[in-house]
């Protein structure tokens, strides 16, 4: 491109420069520079005045330079940068936190020069006001489009900025653009393809009129009212800094348009509200709109109220009155659900049905206007997508605001809002965080799993959320999988036994409890075979196993991966989510097929054969992974049986494409009616039509002592004692204990992924008790040195807490920046402490870690899994307040070369077998083969009489006897039958289980 083209033109640039010569109105204040990019502002971050970069991962922050440019609009240098952003990235100029904030209130707006490429990309620009500093302020955002070439001055009046609804670093200070206390600006660069930019001379300009400092707002965008009632719309005047207005503000109002008929459905109103000069900020006036009763049954009708504001900034949108739907059969709570569904379905348009099948992300709908526009049926919060502040009250307000938007639709069908509460209400700060599923599987305690589900459901529903994308019923067959910790274990029988958690979440299997304020709709995921993907089969980015291919025979599919779903359907599970992964069934001739496209599995097996009566929700953007163009994606998934599509940011495209495909005859209307009927059925069962808004009466119990006691017990029961040389555990209060390791005092590592954010994070992320704090709280004589650098002399025992840092999904796949070995720092801590004293090593992780090379130097070894926020539960078993009772939910391998390794394998020689778990505080029965023969006979009798409790107890006694005899010296001849016995126990074959244990005993 010629140099002249880059400059727009030499003549034009000459006309524009220098800036000091640019004219401005005589009464305007002189522009004030913010950044000249001549080096006066350094590359630095808080608390200093400076420019810094940021991004969603290590590759996303742009590279910035101050570059000499002959064509610089101002001075000699400009800010240049290059970027290649996959998630989000940009840069910020924060003003110094140790100096006063800047006052921009005398100015009209902010402007800068941008070197355009004419590529049509949107660049987000935001400013920061209020709070303590630039990183604890409110964010106000707008954007401009790079649809020009060469230098162009971008001028943005402050009136163009909107409060960010998708992210705020703090809890919303006052939601008023406080131009008197400004902390800087930020630029968010476009993702997707590589790019570069140049920018120069940021300054505030122009004279402010009153409108950027005075705001007119209404109490709500939608005002539902019963037919015959009077709607009251409160109009409030607020100002920056709470100063009285300098000049009068008038608000002219009139009812016009909408679907209601003036004079018939409501009495039209018009007039003017006046806020005289000197009116205090916060002053409110009320507009009343009377509606009329005509006694006819009818859908909801809308009455827009047009506001024309003079002297202040007007509301972002005009409010509307909605006369509630009334008299229609589907609104009659005394009718059976099926009749209510049939009546409502018969009234809906194709577009309204398509809306019910659409789920959007909360951040994508902004203020929520599209909820009514597209008749959306559902919203969700992705991992880390939370309101600000992240409190129960803010969650309830947010969801109520979205539900209010749904009242503006014809039939006022409520939204169903969903979250991934996979180990407690893990998106919410202060919630009770349970052990991840792998830890619950280790408890072998279905009643406890049910209780954790009850606590989770109560905390989730108390924030207004009626739907939980849990539990994961995957059968994890390879520890290299980044989602291994989401599984209860490698044995389908174990997974089935732990599905009591479904009743904890939903209540009784017939759904009668779903309308309670402490129950939620549960989701069985990910149907089916997601835990069986082969290492190296993934084609998603750098993933190695997640979202890969599961290759099985039909019998393996039935016995391993489908079995948990049969149980879930029997338990009345409300929704099912297909897997991202592909299924390759031997002999069907189809090869690998994405689960979202497998109508034979979703329609044929799940719905028809198993009799699943709930609805199927897709995974996040999963249809985008299907072959073909977008209409093909839509019809393939819908025709395969997916009823609702999770299309977080493409909800408009999905709903319109779905309707187009139906009109074209490529998706049948019966398929649409089936999907919508299933969705509406669950909404009626949840009681959302009668009570769409949050019932926060249970909010006081969120994170309560009673709830944390459940999590504490779960943490304690999840601990698996793998080795206990010399009876080192439990510890004695009289012993001097040296604690070390990266995970001893890190609540973020302890809670793992899916904690506040999708990936989770190390550090002090959530309220709770670390393992170290639990040990100290137990009254132990404890000294802590994270890296074991403190002197080790004079201690009786060491406790080294090591393991993994948080991850989720394929990001955590082995080979994708992760492995199954302890970090160098953790290995050094283990070596130093265990060389100096008797030691117990606790492994806090989502999967087994390869520890065999250090096993001889370790006296006691504990698999702690990811125990959640209650580190006191770990301390309870270490100090003997509770016995160790946990058993391995997965096989613990000797080496990575053995993977995958699972119970039932023909060749099975692990470090520790499935089901292994030593005990403390529990007497081990005495005897040998004769005792085992007696136990086998009694266990078989218990099995015949259906006495499960006695049968399980007898098998447990036999297991303890075998574990004692081995002395920790495990061979293939011992491990195989030992693991088989635990599977037999879980399937109710108690006599055979003891026979297998007898085989292991003889081989020991």
Residue with tokens 């009850």: 454
User: 201, 546, 619, 980: which one is catalytic?
Assistant: 619
| SS3 readout for 376-422 | CCEEEECCCCCCCCCCHHHHHHHHHHHHHHHCCCCCCCCCEEEECCC
Contact 300, 357 (CB under 8 A): no
Q: In whole angstroms, what is the distance from residue 594 CA to residue 602 CA? A: 12
Radius of gyration in angstroms for the set of CA atoms belonging to the chain, rounded to a whole number: 32
619 belongs to the catalytic site: yes
> Which residues are CB-contacts of 199 (< 8 A; sequence separation ≥ 6)?
37, 78, 79, 80, 112, 113, 114, 115, 187
Contact 88, 50 (CB under 8 A): no
User: 459, 809, 943, 982: which one is catalytic?
Assistant: 809
Contact 722, 861 (CB under 8 A): yes
C-alpha 69, offset from chain centre:
45
What string of DSSP letters covers 605-630? IIIIIS---SEEB--TTGGGGSSS-H
Q: In whole angstroms, what is the distance from residue 989 CA to residue 90 CA? A: 60
Q: In whole angstroms, what is the distance from residue 632 CA to residue 660 CA? A: 12
Q: In whole angstroms, what is the distance from residue 329 CA to residue 335 CA? A: 8
Tell me how long the chain is.
Answer: 1004
> Which residues are CB-contacts of 317 (< 8 A; sequence separation ≥ 6)?
221, 367, 369
Q: In whole angstroms, what is the distance from residue 88 CA to residue 659 CA? A: 32
Residue with tokens 């459940």: 710
Q: Are strands 720-724 and 860-865 parallel, antiparallel or unpaired?
A: antiparallel
Q: In whole angstroms, what is the distance from residue 961 CA to residue 730 CA? A: 20
Q: In whole angstroms, what is the distance from residue 392 CA to residue 789 CA? A: 42
Phi first, then psi: give them for residue 626, nearest 5 degrees.
-80, 155
Longest dimension (CA), the chain: 106
Q: In whole angstroms, what is the distance from residue 318 CA to residue 552 CA? A: 58
Q: In whole angstroms, what is the distance from residue 191 CA to residue 118 CA? A: 16
Helix (H, G, I), strand (E, B), or coil: what is residue 180?
coil
Contact 603, 550 (CB under 8 A): no
Residue with tokens 């393996």: 556
Contact 818, 845 (CB under 8 A): no
C-alpha 360, offset from chain centre:
14
HSE at residue 685, side-chain half, CA atoms within 13 A, is 28
The DSSP output letter for 925 is P
Q: Report the b/e string of 586-611 with b at 16+ CB within 10 A.
A: eeeeeeebbbbbbbbbbbebbbeebe
The DSSP output letter for 181 is S
| Helical ranges in 560-668 per DSSP H | 563-570, 599, 630-640, 651-663
- Cα 86 to Cα 56, 59, 141, 625, 951, distances in angstroms: 8, 8, 21, 17, 55
905 belongs to the catalytic site: no
Contact 891, 490 (CB under 8 A): yes
What string of DSSP letters covers 744-772? TT-HHHHH-SSBSBSS--SSS-SSSB-HH
Q: In whole angstroms, what is the distance from residue 586 CA to residue 551 CA? A: 7
The DSSP output letter for 54 is E
Contact 266, 302 (CB under 8 A): no
Active site residues: 619, 809
């Amino acid at each position: 491109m010629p140099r002249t083209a880059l400059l727009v033109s030499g003549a034009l640039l000459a006309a524009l420069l220098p800036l000091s010569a640019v004219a401005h109105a005589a009464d305007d204040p002189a522009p004030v520079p913010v950044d000249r990019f001549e080096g006066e502002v350094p590359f630095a971050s808080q608390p200093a005045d400076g420019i810094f970069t940021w991004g969603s991962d290590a590759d996303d922050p742009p590279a910035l330079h101050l570059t000499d440019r002959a064509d610089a609009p101002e001075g000699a240098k400009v800010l240049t940068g290059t970027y290649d952003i996959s998630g989000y990235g940009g840069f910020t100029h924060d003003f110094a936190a140790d100096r006063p904030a800047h006052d921009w209130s005398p100015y009209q707006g902010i402007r800068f020069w941008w070197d355009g490429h004419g590529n049509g990309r949107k660049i987000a620009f935001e400013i920061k006001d209020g709070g303590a500093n630039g990183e604890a302020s409110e964010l106000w955002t707008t954007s401009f489009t790079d649809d020009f070439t060469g230098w162009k001055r971008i001028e943005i009046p402050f009136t163009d900025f909107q409060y960010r609804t998708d992210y705020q670093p703090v809890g919303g200070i006052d939601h008023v653009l406080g131009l008197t206390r400004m902390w800087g600006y930020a630029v968010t660069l476009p993702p997707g393809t590589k790019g570069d930019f140049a920018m120069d001379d940021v300054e505030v300009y122009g004279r402010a009129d009153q409108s950027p400092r005075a705001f007119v707002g209404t109490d709500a965008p939608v005002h539902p009212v019963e037919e015959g009632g009077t709607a009251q719309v409160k109009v409030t005047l607020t100002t920056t800094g709470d100063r009285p207005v300098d000049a009068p503000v008038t608000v002219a109002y009139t009812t016009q348009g909408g679907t209601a008929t003036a004079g018939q459905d409501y009495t039209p109103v018009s007039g003017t509200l006046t806020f005289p000069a000197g009116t205090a900020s916060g002053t409110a006036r009320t507009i009343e709109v009377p509606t009329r009763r005509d006694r006819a049954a009818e859908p909801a009708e809308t009455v827009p109220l047009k506001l024309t504001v003079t002297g202040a900034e007007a509301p972002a949108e005009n409010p509307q009155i909605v006369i509630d739907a009334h008299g229609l059969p589907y609104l009659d709570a005394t009718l059976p659900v099926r009749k209510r569904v049939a009546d409502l379905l018969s009234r809906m348009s194709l577009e309204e049905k398509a809306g019910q099948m659409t789920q959007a992300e909360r951040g994508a709908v902004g203020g929520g206007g599209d909820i009514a526009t597209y008749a959306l049926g559902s919203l969700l919060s992705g991992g880390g997508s939370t309101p600000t502040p992240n409190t129960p009250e803010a969650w309830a307000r947010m969801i109520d605001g979205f539900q209010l938007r749904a009242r503006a639709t014809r039939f006022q069908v409520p939204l169903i809002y969903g979250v991934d509460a996979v180990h407690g209400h893990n998106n919410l700060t202060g919630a009770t965080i349970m052990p991840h599923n792998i830890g619950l599987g280790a408890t072998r305690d279905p009643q406890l799993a049910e209780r954790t589900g009850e606590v989770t459901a109560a905390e989730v529903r108390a924030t207004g959320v009626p739907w939980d994308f849990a539990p994961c019923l995957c059968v994890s067959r390879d520890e290299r999988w980044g989602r291994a910790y989401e599984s209860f274990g490698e044995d389908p029988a174990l997974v089935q036994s732990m599905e009591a958690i479904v009743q904890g979440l939903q209540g009784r299997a017939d759904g009668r409890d779903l309308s309670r304020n402490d129950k939620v709709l549960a989701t069985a995921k990910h149907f089916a075979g997601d835990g069986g993907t082969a290492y190296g089969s993934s084609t998603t980015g750098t993933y190695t196993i997640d979202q890969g291919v599961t290759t099985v025979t039909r019998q393996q599919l039935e016995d391993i991966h489908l079995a948990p779903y049969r149980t879930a359907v029997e338990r009345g599970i409300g929704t099912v989510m297909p897997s991202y992964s592909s299924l390759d069934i031997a002999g069907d001739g189809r090869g690998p097929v994405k689960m979202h496209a497998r109508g034979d599995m979703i329609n044929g097996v799940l719905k028809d054969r198993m009799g699943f009566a709930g609805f199927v929700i897709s995974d996040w953007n999963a249809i985008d992974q299907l072959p073909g163009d977008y209409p093909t994606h839509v019809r393939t998934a819908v025709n395969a049986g997916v009823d609702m599509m999770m299309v977080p940011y493409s909800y408009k495209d999905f709903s319109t494409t779905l309707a187009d495909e139906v009109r074209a005859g490529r998706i049948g209307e019966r398929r649409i009616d089936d999907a919508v009927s299933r969705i509406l059925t669950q909404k009626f069962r949840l009681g959302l039509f009668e009570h769409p808004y949050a019932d926060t009466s249970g909010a006081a119990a969120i994170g309560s002592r009673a709830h944390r006691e459940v999590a504490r017990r779960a943490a304690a029961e999840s601990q698996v004692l793998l080795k206990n040389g010399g009876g080192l555990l439990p510890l004695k209060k009289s012993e001097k204990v040296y604690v070390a390791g990266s995970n001893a005092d890190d609540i973020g590592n302890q809670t793992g992924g899916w904690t506040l954010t999708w990936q989770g994070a190390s550090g002090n992320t959530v309220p709770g008790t670390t393992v170290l704090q639990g040990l100290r709280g137990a009254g132990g004589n404890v000294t802590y040195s994270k890296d074991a650098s403190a002197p080790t002399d004079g201690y009786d025992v060491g406790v080294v807490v090591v393991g993994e840092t948080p991850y989720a999904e394929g990001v955590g796949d082995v080979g994708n920046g992760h492995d199954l070995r302890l970090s160098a720092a953790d290995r050094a801590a283990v070596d130093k402490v265990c060389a100096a004293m008797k030691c117990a090593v606790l492994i806090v992780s989502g999967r087994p870690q390869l520890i065999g090379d250090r096993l001889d130097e370790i006296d006691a070894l504990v698999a702690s899994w990811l125990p959640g926020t209650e580190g006191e539960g770990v301390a309870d078993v270490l100090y003997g307040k509770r016995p160790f009772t946990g058993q391995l939910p997965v096989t613990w391998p000797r080496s990575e070369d053995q993977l995958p390794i699972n119970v039932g394998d023909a060749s099975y020689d692990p470090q520790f077998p499935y089901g292994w778990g030593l005990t403390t505080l529990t007497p081990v029965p005495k005897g040998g083969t004769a005792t085992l023969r007696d136990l086998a006979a009694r266990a078989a009798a218990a099995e015949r009489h259906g006495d499960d409790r006695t049968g399980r107890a007898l098998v447990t006694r036999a297991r303890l006897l075998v574990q004692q005899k081995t002395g920790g010296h495990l061979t293939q001849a011992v491990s195989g039958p030992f693991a088989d016995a635990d599977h037999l126990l879980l399937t109710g074959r108690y006599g055979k289980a003891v026979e297998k244990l007898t085989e292991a005993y003889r081989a020991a």
